[in-house]
Structure 1
Amino acid sequence: MSLIQTLGIALPILQAPMAGAQGSALAIAVARAGGLGALPCAMLSPEAMAEELAAFRAATDAPVNVNFFCHAPPAPDADAQTRWQAALAPYYAEFGLDIGAVPAGPGRRPFDAAACDAIAPFRPEVVSFHFGLPEAALLERIKAWGARVLASATTVEEARWLAAHGADAIIVQGLEAGGHRGMFLAEELTTQVGTFALLPQVREAVDLPLIAAGGIADARGVAAARALGAEAVQVGTAFLCCPESIISALHRRALMSDAARHTALTNLYSGRPARGIVTRLMRELGPMSDAAPAFPLATAAIAPLRAAAEARGSGDFSPLWAGQNASRCREVPAAEVIARLAEGL
């Protein structure tokens, strides 16, 4: 049985789950167009997860992918927080903000029993993970209702690990991909390679179906990925300028400007490497900084700066997530993006 038959979709095109950039509207539009829509749940409460799934189920009977993170929450580290606040203090002074009143900020919760309880009544057809896989007992619960499990690999070693620990298909995430790197076996960025270099290596290493992700934004990318061994592609950045996304007007303008041609991996916005358009913060502190605390603790102190700058129409402190093919973004409905991608099948 082919992957699209296994997943129950008409086209081998998956929409990447993009926390903070989309809700159920984009997932519904992609599903109606024949692809696999995704709901990012890492920043949602169990109640919000249920609301998003209910909205999806009310709009379409197509399958859905719900996505979670599998990171280990870090222990509080007062020294790390002090270093981070010291690095950001000049910016707080610039905006007249009190660095001693940093809020808790939005969290990113790993998949746990509460999340599993929230989604179980909806029996999502696909559950996907970033940063590895959850504990075996939770994975068994998911598979018990018939869900297929997808997970991201950024190296051959990660692909082998996922294959040995219960993944049904592997998302091969190349270095070009926007947003957070799915790396989980090592922290060394020199292990990270491009999609079209990584894909054939993973194809030789594991027998599971592969889904290519990273830098794929048009029919040519789809055709290339399939020629190198992928049964499907996962696309994110190309959907960001669609009317169904919920990104800010500032982010949308940046994606459609020449600025989108310059992206970099940065840990400044969350504490973990993620690709986005280069901003003032990234230029001045360096995109990767030892001052940033562990994921996801960096976010809290950035949030007031982001809000203050955005109020002035500036994205200097905003995480403008984007892949390396961001210049392919178009302000067209998601169904049109799907149709253009499908020309490469």
Structure 2
Amino acid sequence: MSKPSLLKKLNLKYPIFQSPMAGVSTPEMASAVAAAGGLGALPLATLDFTQDSVTAFEKLDKLVEATGTNAVNLNFFCHEVESPPSQVQADNWKALYRNVIADAKFKQVIDSTKFANGNISFKEIERDQDKLAKLVDKLKSIKPSIISFHFGIPSNNIIDELKKIALVFATATSLQEARHLKSNGIDGIILQGIEAGGHRGQFIDTFQPHLDEDLSTQALFHKVKQSLANDGIYLVPAGGITSPNSVKYYLNQGADAVQIGTAFLATPESSSSKFFTKYSGEESTVMTALVSGKPARCVRTPFIDDVVQKNQFPLSDLPPYGYAYDAYKKLKGELGANGGAGEDIGFYLAGQNHFQLRKGKSTSEVMQELTRELA
């Protein structure tokens, strides 16, 4: 099945998508990517559209306004709805962090940590038809270029409704997931290889990570392309794409665009720029679920080593995603507010090719370099 060019469909100069990167990317980054001819992204997982307050909608309006364009990818998380942690899970989390944080004066901070759901799944919004309708109306008024999902997809009825507003994309980490997305009417697939930084978008066999084939971006792209080549669906590889040559490679191999995140981590528009402009680049990365509750690739630091080595609990006996991540963020904020624990407990999400970062360059300059082979 033939399909129109994604570049023409989105009115882009270059087939480069900025990764949403919740907690890292900013409206300024999305604006710079868009101004350079690519597609910027705004992560929305931390906005709680399930509440009666208009705050989430006001924040969304401000994000789009700060970006300066509605030609963006609005990204939602769509994982299964988690229950609040049990007392045992909460106690285990506190025991773990008491072992990790060496400074005794912060034990009380750890013990008093409260658990809330800090990452709202689109599936939660779907449970309330009034709030869902309000969000859909808001998306209609914004008219973004793409509405995308990570960790799964909403119901078919909602997908059909959203496709009237924008192209609908979702993340796959395997051929099985890609086929599932295609069969449910998704317009395009972000093919997230194992090299990619941030949270792994796996949504089939989520509770059996040993079944993850850990496909590289290249292997995943070619495997899915071979299977779905004639199905009229857009394919966008993501993970380990940090150089002009890697961009050109995937486009020459038939990718409709590429999605890039790690290359922008050290830019002044990145919320993680303070760390990534100072680190050596020789650090390795590791995939761990112990900080947020879901597997995520991050820079291996002494803090991450401590969390992994000192943990004595299976993941199921710790708070689930959203709650674990919120508690960690609160703890990090409290330690900073109290003068610091004398140690860096940052959770620095990055892909395996983070050593290729262009320090001292802006998002615009990184885009110029990435697109230099694409005249």
- Same fold by TM-score greater than 0.5: yes
Residues 1:19 and 1:315: Cα distance change in structure 2 (over 3 Å): farther
Residues 1:69 and 1:177: Cα distance change in structure 2 (over 3 Å): same
CA distance in 2, matches of 1:228, 1:215: 16
CA distance in 1, matches of 2:343, 2:265: 16
Is residue 101 of structure 1 aligned with residue 125 of structure 2? no
CA distance in 2, matches of 1:201, 1:117: 37
| 1:1-345 to 2 correspondences below 5 Å | 1-44=4-47, 45-56=56-67, 59-60=68-69, 63-78=71-86, 79-92=88-101, 94-97=103-106, 98=108, 99-104=110-115, 107-111=118-122, 112=125, 113=132, 115-145=135-165, 147-187=166-206, 188-189=209-210, 190-206=212-228, 207=231, 208-247=233-272, 249-254=274-279, 257-259=280-282, 261-286=283-308, 290-291=314-315, 292-307=318-333, 311-312=339-340, 316-330=344-358, 331-345=360-374
Q: Is the 8 A contact 2:100 2:307 kept in 1?
A: no
AA aligned to 1:241 is A
Q: Is the 8 A contact 2:116 2:322 kept in 1?
A: no
Q: Is the 8 A contact 2:263 2:357 kept in 1?
A: yes
Deviations 1:206-231 (A, max 9, x none): 13221110000011111222233312
AA aligned to 1:226 is L
Q: Is the 8 A contact 1:200 1:229 kept in 2?
A: no
AA aligned to 2:354 is A
The structure with more radius of gyration:
2
- Aligned-residue Cα RMSD (Å) equals 2.3
| TM-score (structure 2 length as normaliser) | 0.83
Q: Secondary structure at the match of 2:163?
A: helix
AA aligned to 1:258 is G
Deviations 1:36-70 (A, max 9, x none): 011111112332112111333xx34x621100100
Q: Is the 8 A contact 2:159 2:186 kept in 1?
A: no
Q: Secondary structure at the match of 1:159?
A: helix
Give the number of aligned pairs: 338
Q: Percent identity at matched positions?
A: 36
Q: Secondary structure at the match of 1:86?
A: helix
Q: Which moved more, 1:122-131 or 1:225-234?
A: 225-234
Q: Is the 8 A contact 2:115 2:324 kept in 1?
A: no
Q: Is the 8 A contact 2:238 2:260 kept in 1?
A: yes
Q: Secondary structure at the match of 1:286?
A: helix
Residue 52 of structure 2 is matched in structure 1 by: none
CA distance in 1, matches of 2:234, 2:119: 28
CA offset at residue 92 of structure 1? 4.8
Runs of 5+ unmatched residues, structure 2: 48-55, 126-131
CA distance in 2, matches of 1:303, 1:105: 11
| TM-score (structure 1 length as normaliser) | 0.90
Q: Is the 8 A contact 2:117 2:323 kept in 1?
A: no
CA distance in 1, matches of 2:288, 2:42: 24
Q: Is the 8 A contact 1:302 1:317 kept in 2?
A: no
AA aligned to 2:158 is L
